[in-house]
Amino acid sequence: MKIKINYFASLREKVGCSDNSIESDAISLSAGEVWTLATGLKVFPDKILVAVNQEYVDLNAPVVDGDEVAFFPPVTGG
């Protein structure tokens, strides 16, 4: 399976790119497993939001072939 990943704001600097993709022989991965495979970082930063196909999810949400996963810090505004 192939997964497209996007990183926003400070996460771009943390992982060194704004987007990438991963390929895996797994049928399904969790969003947290996608983070680890894509970044090589086992620790997930605090308060980071995750979206799969533009819908907010938690780290246990399933990700399947062709999905797009986005990681970004919380957004504040005023």
Would you write out the chain's pLDDT as a tens digit for each of its 78 residues?
A: 999 999 998 888 888 899 999 999 999 999 999 999 999 887 888 889 999 999 999 999 999 999 999 999 877 565
CA nearest 29: which of 5, 54, 3?
3
- Alpha-carbon distance of 69 to 44, in angstroms, equals 14
> How high is the pLDDT of residue 44?
82
Strand order in 49-52's β-sheet?
19-23, 2-7, 68-72, 49-52, 55-57
> How high is the pLDDT of residue 2?
96
Sorted by where each starts, the structural domains of the chain and their CATH numbers stand as 2-72 (3.10.20.30)
Q: What is the model's pTM?
A: 0.90
> How high is the pLDDT of residue 53?
98
